[in-house]
Structures are given as structure tokens and as C-alpha cells.
Structure 1
């Protein structure tokens, strides 16, 4: 499986201990290959991914990357611009 592009995404886990809310970020990767898009928890064949879009939610490049698939829409919080990842996907489609 040749990797065409990859981008890191974060999952924020929140829990309350001793009346204090704690935040812990876990970093994962989304990988694009010739056959599929793979995350830490899901795997989609390329023909199952209809589109990929991105929306900023702060003044930085942080935002939500959306995978529009035949199984539904999946969102991932990214801290870097996904432009290269999206361009590579669109070239393959």
C-alpha cells in the first residue's frame, strides 16, 4: 500500500477529576493511498469517499476536515492546512 498523502488530526478527551475538567489531546493520522483512506478508527475504500472538505473554526489554520462517504459524514479536527491532502484526493478521483 503506497501512501500518497497523510495529515495529522487530534482527538480531545475530557474528564473531570476532583471537580476539575482535564483535557488531553491524542494525535492520530489520516492516510490516503491508491486504494483507501484510513484513520485510526475507520477505513474507507476510495470509491466510498465521495468528497473531502475543510472548514476553519479559528483564525489559525485549525479546523474540521470532513470526509463525505457512502457511510455518512465523518469529521476530524486538524491543526494544519489539509490543502495538499485534499488536492491529492481530488487528483485520484
Structure 2
């Protein structure tokens, strides 16, 4: 495995010219590689990520949680995170981190 990724969504809220609230969904990639996990705003070394977990919603999608030495970071996802989580766990096991 060289690199694996999953799409996550951030909601940006803006007030338009008519003072109406606009919600814009922006998609980013959460990338997993030998170095660690990279998001649009953070870069985590693999040794600093203790676990990856997931909470699914009944209406689809869910939240992917990165448990790190800096705290827990959550990412809204629509895709099935199982392959990403398995890739993370196998990478951690290979490197014995």
C-alpha cells in the first residue's frame, strides 16, 4: 500500500449580499501514507495517531475520528470508511508504531 484516501466534507457558512445564510459544502481528501495522515488543515505523523474510529448515521454517512496525541479530530464522511480504517491498522502493525 503506498497511499489511501477518503473524502471528507466541511461546511462553510457565509452571509450573502442579502443577509441570507449560505451553507457551502467543500470536499477534501484525508490521505493515508507511510508518513502519516494528511488533511487540508493538519498533518499527523503515523506514530502520533493512536486509532481511527467511525460513527455512522442512520440516514447515511457518518463521522470519522482520528485519535491523536493532540486530541480527537472529527471528519464528516459519506463513503464507507472500513477500507481506510483497515489500511491504517495494517500500516500501524507493519511499522509496529
Q: How far does residue 21 in structure 1 lie from its aligned partner after superposition? A: 1.8
Give TM-score scaled by structure 2 length: 0.86
**Structural RMSD (CA):** 1.4
SS of 1:40's equivalent in the other structure is: coil
Question: Structure 2, unaligned stretches of length 5 or more?
Answer: 93-97
Q: Does 1:55 align with 2:64?
A: no
Give TM-score scaled by structure 1 length: 0.90
Aligned to 1:23: 23
Give 1 or 2 for the bigger CA radius of gyration.
2
**Cα 1:79–1:48 shift into 2, 3 Å:** same
The answer to which structure has the higher strand fraction is 1
**Cα 1:3–1:25 shift into 2, 3 Å:** farther
Question: Structure 1, unaligned stretches of length 5 or more?
Answer: none
Superposed counterparts of 1:1-93, under 5 Å: 3-17=2-16, 18-60=18-60, 62-93=61-92
CA distance in 2, matches of 1:59, 1:36: 31
